[in-house]
């Protein structure tokens, strides 16, 4: 299991149109010392990504105005954020959704509702990879 004890200060953005999902993720992440940036949809997220420079992004697929695939693609096309891990969130667990997520540049896929352990393990795994890449 990835080390969740070393997540203090990790900037995590959660993009989801569900207030319940955003709030749950925020509570779990704050408990381990992460900085949390919340966004309601893709448009809201794009300005916040630029201003906050998150270390990892969780992005819901089904959102109004700008869906998760479009949001992920825009983030990944940016020179500044192409290496930022984007984890797609969805209540659907289909092969098509996973494949489409990979095509737009997502790094992983989590099925909602996620557990505290699953969320924190995912953050820890990408934080560990970023630390190893920086060495």
Residue 60 maps to a domain: yes
User: Half-sphere exposure (CA, 13 Å, Cβ side) for 82?
Assistant: 3
Residue 3 maps to a domain: no
Burial string for 88-126 (b: 16+ CB within 10 Å, else e) reads bbbeeeeeebbebbeebbbbbbbebebeeeebbbbbbbb
Residue 134 maps to a domain: no
Q: What pLDDT score was predicted for residue 95?
A: 83
- Rounded distance, CA 2 to CA 69, Å? 27
Residues in the chain with pLDDT < 70?
1-3, 5, 131-135
DSSP secondary structure of the chain: ---GGG-TT-EEEEE-S-HHHHHHHHHHHHHTT-EEEEESSHHHHHHHHHHH--SEEEEESS-SSS-HHHHHHHHHHSTTTTTS-EEEEES---HHHHHHHHHTT-SEEEESSPPHHHHHHHHHHHHHHHHHHH-
Number of structural domains in the chain = 1
Q: What pLDDT score was predicted for residue 96?
A: 85
Residue 100 maps to a domain: yes
Residue 135 maps to a domain: no
The domain in which residue 58 lies consists of 9-127
Residue 4 maps to a domain: no
Q: What pLDDT score was predicted for residue 129?
A: 81
Residue 2 maps to a domain: no
Q: Kindly report, residue by residue over 59-75, the tens digit of the pLDDT.
A: 999 999 899 999 999 99
**Tell me, what CATH number does 101's domain have?**
3.40.50.2300
Residue 57 maps to a domain: yes
């Amino acid at each position: 299991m990835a080390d969740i004890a070393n997540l203090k200060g990790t900037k995590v953005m959660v993009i989801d149109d569900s207030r319940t999902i955003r709030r749950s993720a925020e509570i779990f992440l704050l408990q381990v010392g992460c900085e949390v940036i919340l966004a309601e949809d893709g448009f809201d997220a794009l300005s916040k990504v630029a201003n906050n420079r998150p270390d990892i992004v969780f992005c819901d697929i089904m959102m109004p105005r700008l869906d998760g695939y479009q949001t992920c693609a825009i983030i990944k096309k940016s020179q500044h954020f192409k290496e930022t891990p984007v984890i797609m969130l969805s209540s659907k667990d289909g092969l098509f959704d996973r494949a489409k997520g990979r095509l737009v540049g997502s790094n992983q896929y989590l099925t909602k509702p996620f557990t505290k352990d699953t969320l924190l393990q995912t953050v820890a795994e990408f934080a560990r990879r970023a630390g190893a890449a920086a060495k």
